[in-house]
Each structure stands twice: as C-alpha cells, then as structure tokens.
C-alpha cells in the first residue's frame, strides 16, 4: 500500500489530494471476491484460485478467470499489480524463473497446463506470445516467420512454407510493406513493423491463444493504431489475452476487461461496463485517473 | 541587494578550476597511452635493430668441380653412393684452388672456415637433383660461415668491424673475394626452410614454426569445443547453487595458476601416467589446452550472457526447446565473442614457454615435425634456446625469431578484432 501511496503523491495535482485521502480511508477490503463476470460459458482457458510466488513474496492472490473462445480479454491495473505475471503463467513462460512458483489450476480446454507431465513445447505452440519490446530474431524477415513452422515441422515442402509465411504476414498486415524484401534482416524494420513481424511469427505456428504483453508500449500512436486494428481482425480466429497500460487501448480492443490491483483480480466485466459503470470502487478510482 | 553572490557567479568562479581538473584527468590518460606506446616502440626498435640483419645471409662464390674420383662415386644412379660421397672434400679442394698460396696445414684449416661446414649438403642436393653435374666444373654460391657472415655484416659499423675468430689473413682473403665480386648478400631462405642447427648459418625456424602449428592445432581442436560446451552448460543448464559457485571460483583460479604448474601436471599425467613420449606437440597441445580452457570458458560465458534475454524469450515463446533456443539463437549471436576469446587464448598459448620446457619440448631437434606425434620444439622455446647460445650469429637469429613470433601474434590479435567487428550483430 505504501508504494501505491508514493506513486499517487507524485502523480496527483494538489487539489485532488483531499479526494484521495478520503478514498484511501474508504478503500474496500481487498480480500473480498472478484466482482463482475469472471467466468465464461465457452471458456478456452480457465484459471481457478491461482497464487503465484516469487520466492516468499506472493505476487498473485487467488485469481480465478475464464478467457472465452475468440474473445479479447484486456488486463489493466497499476504497475506491479501482477498482470504481466498472470499472463506469463498462461503459457508457462515463468518456468525460466527459478524462484517462481505457481499454485492453483490453469487449464487449456480441460488440459492442466501445470501438469508436471505436460511438455511446454506443444503448449507454447498452442498458446503463443507477443512481447512488450519488439524482439525479431537477427535473421531475415522470411526466416523470422518461418522459424516456428520449421522447428515444429509443420511443413515439409518449401512451397507450403512460403504460403504460411505469406498468409501470416498478410494477417499481420505487413505483407504489402515487406513482400519485396523478405530476405532482408528483420531488425532493419521500424519499431511498429517489427512488432507486426513478431505477431506474424507468432501466428505462423497457428496457435489457439495469443498472449500480448503490452505490445504497443514501445510504439508511436500510428503504429499502435495499426496493431489495435490487427487485434480486432485477429480475434475472429484467435483467442487473445492482452496486458495494457493504456485504458483507451483496453476500451478499444477488448470484449472483457479485468482489473488487477496488488496481485488481486478486483473486477472483471464487459469492457463497456467497466469503463462506463464500474462495479468496484477501486476500478472506478483507477479508470477515472485518480491513481495509476 | 544581497551581498551573497548569485548562483551564476559562484559557478563561474569555479569553472576555470573544474576545467583545469578535467584537462589534468585527460592528460593522465594520454600520458599512460604515451608510456605504453613508448615501451612498444622501444621494444620494436631494439628487436628489429638487432634482428633485421638475420634476414640477409652472405654467400661465397667458388669454382667447384664435381669430380667423381674425389667424391668417390662410380655409379651416379646409386642413391647410397650419392648420400655417402665426400662433398666437403670437393668444397675444400675448391677453396685450395681459389687460394693456392695457402700451404700450411693449420692455415688450411682456417681457410676451410670461409664457407659453412654444411655446404656439402647443398652440393649433395644439387647432384641428387641433376645427375649430369657429375664430372662438371661450375661456379657455385655457397653459404658463408657464421663468423665470416657476422664479420662482413659488421664492416659498416661505426664502432669498427667485429672480427671475432676471423683473423687478419682470413680478412685479407675476404677482401680479395669481395673485390672479385665473389661475395654476395642474399635473402636468408635457409632461416625459413631449415630446422634447428648447431651452426648458426644452417639454423632455421621452420621446425619451430611447424611444431608451434601442430601444438596450436591440438590446443584449438580440444580447448574450443570443451570450453564452449562447459560455458553453455554453466550458463544455460546449471542450477545456481553452491556447487556451481564453487566451479566458477575454481575456473577463475585456474586462469591465474602459473603456467609452469600446468607443465608439471602434464609431466605427471600425460607422460607419467599415460606413458606418452616427451617433446611431442600432442602432449604440448594437451598441456596448453588445460591452460587455455579457463580463458575460453570465461569469455564464452560472457558472450552467452550478452545475448539479450528478449531473443531467448522470443524463441521459447513460439515453442522452441531449450536446445533449439541455444543452437539457433544463442550460439550464433555469441559466436563472435567466443571466437575472440578463443583467439586471444590461443595467442597466449602460442607465446607460452614454461610448461613446454617441463614436458621436454626444449630438446635439440633438427628434423621438421610432420605431425603431432613427431618430437618438436615451438617458437618461444626456440627463442629461449638460441638466446642461450654463445655464437654471435645466434643473437640476430634470436631477434629474428622474436619478430616472426610477434608477427604471428599481431596477425592473430588483428584477426580477433576484425572478427569481433565483422560478425557483431545489432539488435
């Protein structure tokens, strides 16, 4: 709580301080259950009572949430609220951190993700990820997109691979810009193009779910608009979970929005509801910009 | 108005002092570099000044008759006869013919020392290459003796010529030869074609260079794969616990162990336990591998660490296995750093002397090694051996060998820098 208070002080204008003090006295009990509609009838991924620890420090407290099929779920909340940690649990990217421990149940279509017998390689082929900073491989554009299909052995013929590369680049609306220089380096593209290349690389594997961890935070507004458009198109075929710092972005791209606060899932509701008539006072305080 | 000076006044007051301090700080750096450069220039002028004469060798022209009787050859197609013939005899005969006034037995022996005592081998080679020379009389350029060579080279010295063992009568004969144009200075090919020899004019560094190459080959083939594999395990797979900390401390320790101790280890293990021969490039390479490994492991680990985590996440995020991530992404990106480390490690090993003395690569070896299992010596040990020799002609050869060794080191280190610049990728 102390940390939040500090950031508040730096961000708030003096006249709102009174309001804040008033608010902090009336802060609802965080231990109460998530309000809104965390569950879905056609869940692609289901998360039940998940706790995440970094060594002894608990980063996520008892989170339950469904991500519906072909749905875009946005996760918002102040810095350090655990939304990225939560996202990375969904394809076990946290495995590479030795001190990280996940408890509770996470399933992808009834398959337990944290089953010790489960192989993470096929899991990550089904649940792809796009990162905060565009991270193309220092290889050609073609090889970037073809890498996933190649390692998973999706095709044996060159013509098929060409087709996958073209389709993926088209879906990522990058094809028109790069079709004449497929064999030049992926790192030579602009930031926005690089991020779309990373999205193309992710969808080339044909995942069912795409996780996006603040995909636009390193991009300018025009590139951001393109990615947001792309997310809307992709939701026709993929289930998308996106972490974002921009509430406008969450409002524009998502069907449902989940608000995290200090490692707890405070509220999940239809995006429109969250931004017009939030159920929880903390959500309201956050979206009206009283802290963040 | 306040009497207190304003901020800008205070700043201005201190400004000059700050700039002076800054100029001094910069000057310390420049002074250090200048000192380093001075030492380097001093070293190079000294070595080149002493050694450049070794690349020139004087030759004496003589009328040699390949007299079958004098040689003792009756069948020119018999290789045994060709090998055993008395070539030095016809050289002596040619010298007597050139200076017919030398009668005294002792003076004759002095006369014979005009040309190298190994000249006979050159004549043998000529005859072996061309049998028709037998019975012919032709003028041949023979390598001058080292004393003669040193004397002629020192003729232009301001301090006066170094006569050494070349006495007045011999000097007169040399003046006579020079006046007749029968003494010529040529590029010293012998120095690059021969192995070691007791006679300075016949001694070369070919054997040492080949010995160094074979040794380096063993070292490279063993230390690079082992070092890289160890670095990959330690960086990517090993759990971070007390044991890996202990291993890390020990690797860093090994890098600082005096090299002679590795030599003792080599004697005990490879020669003592495994019963390998002494003086072999194979054993030398194994010892130098032990010595180079820590350098390669440390630099490879640094190179692996420098690969950005975002690339690893990208690979893992689309479902690459750990091995695919390492082989496809981490290794290619870390390779320039690893190669640079390996080349610097090898350059160190190339100049290493002490451990090789321990395993017997200090022996006097004339033959040029043809493989890792032939006894050999290496460049730095050859330098050590020659610097110990009393003949004055070995002084210039020592410096020349140092120049060759430095040349190799400069080439290797330049290669390391070029590789780093060329292969470095941006992300």
pLDDT at B68: 87
Measured distance CA(B59)–CA(B145) in Å, rounded: 9
Q: Are residues B234 and B355 in the same domain?
A: yes
pLDDT at B184: 93
Q: φ and ψ at B335, to 5 degrees?
A: -55, -45
Q: φ and ψ at A90, to 5 degrees?
A: -70, -25
Q: Is residue B309 part of a domain?
A: yes
The domain containing residue B16 runs over which residues? 7-52
Write down which residue in B202, B232, B258 finishes a domain.
Answer: B202
What the block records as the tokens of A255 is 């069907």
Dihedral sign for Cα B81, B82, B88, B92, please: positive
Q: Are residues B60 and B196 in the same domain?
A: yes
- Tell me how crowded residue B291 is: count the other CB atoms within 10 A of its CB: 26
Say if the Cβ atoms of B314 and A96 lie within 8 Å.
Answer: no
Say yes or no to pLDDT of A4 above 60: no
Least CB-CB distance to B425: which of A96, A125, A138? A138
DSSP string, A244-283: -S-HHHHHHH-SEEEEEETTEEEEEEEHHHHHHS-SSHHH
Contact B401, B206 (CB under 8 A): no
Q: Exposure string (b/e) for A196-227, b if CB count within 10 Å is 16 or more?
A: bbbbbbbbbbbbbbbbbbbbbebbeeebbebb
pLDDT at B425: 58
Q: Are residues B373 and B253 in the same domain?
A: yes
Angle at A60 between CA A56 and CA A62, to 5 degrees: 110
- Give which of A140, A147, A186 to mutate to test B binding, by max B Cβ within 10 Å: A147
Q: What is the enclosing helix (H) or strand (E) of A234?
A: helix A221-234
In a 10 Å sphere around its CB, with 0-12 CB exposed, 13-18 middle and 19+ buried, how is residue A53 labelled? Answer: middle
Closest to A186 (Cα-Cα) out of A129, A132, A124, A134: A134
Domain count, chain B: 3
Measured distance CA(A201)–CA(A147) in Å, rounded: 8
Say yes or no to pLDDT of B60 above 90: yes
Between A56 and A27, the more confident residue is A56
What the block records as the tokens of A140 is 């050609």
Q: Are residues B310 and B417 in the same domain?
A: yes
Say yes or no to pLDDT of B424 above 80: no
What the block records as the tokens of B232 is 């990959």
Q: Are residues B232 and B252 in the same domain?
A: yes
Name the residue of chain A whose CA is nearest to B321's CA. A121
Write down which residue in B202, B221, B240 finishes a domain.
Answer: B202
% of residues, chain B, pLDDT over 90: 69
Say if the Cβ atoms of B319 and A133 lie within 8 Å.
Answer: no
Average pLDDT of the residues of chain B? 91
pLDDT at A13: 39
Say if the Cβ atoms of B314 and A98 lie within 8 Å.
Answer: no
- Give which of B306, B317, B327 to mutate to test A binding, by max A Cβ within 10 Å: B317
pLDDT at A217: 87
pLDDT at A270: 92
Average pLDDT over residues B379-391: 93
Q: Is residue B293 part of a domain?
A: yes
Q: How many residues does chain A have?
A: 292
Say if the Cβ atoms of B427 and A129 lie within 8 Å.
Answer: no
A14 to chain B, minimum CA–CA distance in Å? 30
Say yes or no to pLDDT of B284 above 70: yes
Look at the block and give the residue holding tokens 């797979």. Answer: B237
Categorize the per-residue pLDDT at A32 as very low, low, confident or very high, splitting at 50, 70 and 90.
Answer: low
pLDDT at B314: 93
Average pLDDT over residues A145-154: 92
% of residues, chain A, pLDDT over 90: 50
Average pLDDT over residues B269-291: 93
Q: Are residues B217 and B333 in the same domain?
A: yes
Categorize the per-residue pLDDT at B2 as very low, low, confident or very high, splitting at 50, 70 and 90.
Answer: low
Q: Is residue B358 part of a domain?
A: yes
Average pLDDT over residues B386-410: 93
Average pLDDT over residues B331-355: 92
| Contacts A120 to B, Cβ<8 Å | 319
pLDDT at B76: 81
| Contacts A125 to B, Cβ<8 Å | 318-319
Q: φ and ψ at B71, to 5 degrees?
A: -75, -30
Measured distance CA(B64)–CA(B141) in Å, rounded: 10
Q: Are residues B295 and B350 in the same domain?
A: yes
Least CB-CB distance to B316: which of A124, A147, A205? A124
Say yes or no to pLDDT of B342 above 90: yes
Write down which residue in B152, B185, B202 finishes a domain.
Answer: B202
In a 10 Å sphere around its CB, with 0-12 CB exposed, 13-18 middle and 19+ buried, how is residue A1 labelled? Answer: exposed
Q: Are residues B126 and B24 in the same domain?
A: no
Say yes or no to pLDDT of A18 above 50: no
Measured distance CA(B151)–CA(B145) in Å, rounded: 10
pLDDT at B13: 87
Least CB-CB distance to A187: which of B240, B328, B427? B427
Q: Are residues B121 and B177 in the same domain?
A: yes
Q: Are residues B194 and B270 in the same domain?
A: no
Q: How many residues does chain B have?
A: 427
Categorize the per-residue pLDDT at B10 as very low, low, confident or very high, splitting at 50, 70 and 90.
Answer: confident
Q: Is residue B165 part of a domain?
A: yes
Contact B294, B251 (CB under 8 A): yes
- Tell me how crowded residue B112 is: count the other CB atoms within 10 A of its CB: 17
ipTM: 0.81
Q: Are residues B299 and B161 in the same domain?
A: no
pLDDT at B180: 92
Average pLDDT of the residues of chain A? 85
Q: Is residue B163 part of a domain?
A: yes
Strands (E), B153-240: 183-187
- Tell me how crowded residue A191 is: count the other CB atoms within 10 A of its CB: 14
Q: Is residue B2 part of a domain?
A: no
Angle at A126 between CA A124 and CA A127, to 5 degrees: 60
Closest to A260 (Cα-Cα) out of A4, A82, A104: A82
Measured distance CA(A226)–CA(A230) in Å, rounded: 6
Q: What is the pLDDT of residues B147-184, one digit of tens each?
A: 999 999 988 888 888 888 888 899 999 999 999 999 99
Say yes or no to pLDDT of A9 above 50: no
Q: What is the CATH number of the domain that holds B367?
A: 1.10.3720.10
Q: Is residue B1 part of a domain?
A: no
Q: What is the pLDDT of residues B203-227, one digit of tens each?
A: 999 999 999 999 999 999 999 999 9
B317 to chain A, minimum CA–CA distance in Å? 6
Contact B201, B116 (CB under 8 A): yes
Closest to A253 (Cα-Cα) out of A285, A210, A206: A210
- Tell me how crowded residue A85 is: count the other CB atoms within 10 A of its CB: 21
Measured distance CA(B321)–CA(B54) in Å, rounded: 59
Q: Is residue B135 part of a domain?
A: yes
Average pLDDT over residues B54-63: 93
Q: What is the pLDDT of residues A230-281, one digit of tens each?
A: 899 888 889 999 999 888 899 999 999 999 988 889 999 999 999 998 888 8
| Alpha-carbon distances of B85 from A72, B123, B187, B225, B312, rounded to whole Å | 98, 10, 29, 52, 73
Q: Are residues B80 and B220 in the same domain?
A: no
- Tell me how crowded residue B92 is: count the other CB atoms within 10 A of its CB: 19
Average pLDDT over residues B356-366: 91
């Amino acid at each position: 709580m102390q940390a939040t208070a500090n950031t508040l002080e730096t961000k708030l204008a003096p006249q709102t301080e009174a309001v804040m003090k008033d608010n902090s006295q009336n802060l609802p009990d965080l231990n109460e259950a998530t309000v809104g509609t965390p569950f879905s009838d056609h869940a692609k991924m289901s998360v039940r009572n998940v706790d995440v620890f970094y060594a002894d420090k608990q980063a996520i407290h008892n989170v339950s949430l469904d991500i519906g099929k072909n749905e875009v779920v946005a996760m918002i909340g102040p810095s350090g609220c655990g939304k990225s940690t939560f996202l990375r649990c969904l394809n076990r990217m946290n495995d590479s951190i030795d001190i990280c421990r996940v408890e509770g149940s996470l399933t992808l279509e009834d398959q337990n993700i944290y089953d010790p017998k489960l192989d993470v390689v096929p899991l990550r082929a089904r649940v792809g990820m796009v990162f905060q900073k565009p991270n193309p491989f220092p290889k050609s554009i073609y090889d970037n997109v073809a890498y996933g299909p190649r390692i998973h052995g999706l095709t044996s013929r060159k013509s098929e691979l060409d087709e996958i590369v073209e389709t993926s680049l088209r879906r990522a609306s990058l094809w028109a810009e790069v079709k004449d220089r497929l064999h030049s380096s992926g790192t030579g593209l602009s930031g926005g193009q690089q991020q779309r290349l990373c999205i193309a690389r992710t969808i080339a594997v044909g995942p069912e779910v795409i996780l996006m961890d603040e995909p636009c935070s390193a991009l300018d507004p025009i590139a951001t608009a393109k990615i947001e458009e792309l997310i809307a198109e992709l939701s026709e075929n993929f289930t998308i979970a996106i972490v974002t710092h921009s509430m406008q972005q969450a409002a524009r791209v998502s069907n449902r929005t989940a608000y995290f606060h200090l490692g707890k899932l405070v509220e999940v509701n239809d995006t429109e509801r969250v931004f017009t008539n939030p159920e929880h006072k903390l959500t309201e305080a956050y979206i009206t910009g009283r802290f963040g | 108005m306040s009497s207190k000076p304003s901020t800008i006044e205070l700043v201005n007051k201190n400004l000059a002092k700050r700039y002076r301090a800054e100029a001094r700080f910069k000057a310390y750096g420049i002074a250090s570099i200048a000192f380093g450069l001075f030492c380097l220039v001093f070293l190079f002028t000294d070595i080149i000044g002493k050694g450049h004469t070794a690349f020139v060798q004087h030759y004496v022209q003589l009328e040699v008759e390949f007299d079958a009787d004098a040689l003792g050859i009756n069948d020119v197609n018999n290789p045994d006869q060709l090998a055993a013939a008395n070539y030095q005899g016809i050289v002596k005969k040619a010298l007597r013919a050139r200076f017919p006034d030398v009668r005294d037995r002792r003076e004759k022996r002095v006369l014979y020392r005009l040309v190298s005592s190994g000249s006979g081998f050159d004549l043998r080679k000529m005859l072996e290459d061309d049998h028709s020379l037998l019975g012919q009389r032709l003028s041949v350029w023979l390598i001058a003796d080292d004393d003669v060579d040193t004397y002629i080279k020192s003729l232009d010295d301001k301090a006066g010529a170094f006569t050494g063992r070349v006495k007045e009568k011999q000097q007169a004969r040399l003046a006579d030869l020079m006046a007749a144009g029968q003494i010529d200075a040529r590029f010293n090919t012998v120095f690059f074609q021969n192995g070691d020899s007791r006679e300075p004019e016949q001694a070369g560094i070919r054997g040492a260079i080949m010995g160094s190459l074979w040794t380096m080959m063993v070292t490279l083939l063993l230390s690079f794969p082992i070092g890289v594999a160890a670095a990959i395990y330690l960086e990517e797979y090993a759990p971070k616990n007390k044991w890996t900390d202990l291993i890390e401390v020990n690797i860093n320790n090994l890098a600082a162990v005096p090299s002679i101790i590795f030599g003792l280890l080599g004697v005990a293990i490879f020669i003592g336990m495994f019963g390998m021969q002494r003086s072999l490039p194979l054993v030398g390479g194994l010892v130098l591998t032990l010595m180079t490994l820590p350098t390669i492991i440390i630099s490879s680990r640094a190179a692996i660490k420098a690969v950005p985590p975002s690339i690893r996440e990208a690979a893992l995020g689309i479902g690459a296995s750990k091995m695919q991530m390492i082989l496809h992404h981490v290794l290619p990106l870390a390779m320039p750093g690893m190669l640079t480390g390996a080349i610097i490690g090898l350059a160190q090993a190339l100049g290493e002397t002490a451990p090789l003395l321990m395993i017997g690569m200090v022996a006097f070896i004339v033959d040029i090694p043809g493989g890792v299992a032939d006894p050999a010596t290496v460049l730095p040990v050859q330098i050590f051996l020659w610097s110990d020799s009393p003949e004055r002609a070995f002084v210039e050869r020592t410096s020349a060998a140092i120049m060759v060794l430095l040349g190799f080191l400069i080439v290797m280190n330049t290669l390391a820098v070029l590789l780093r610049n060329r292969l470095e990728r941006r992300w």
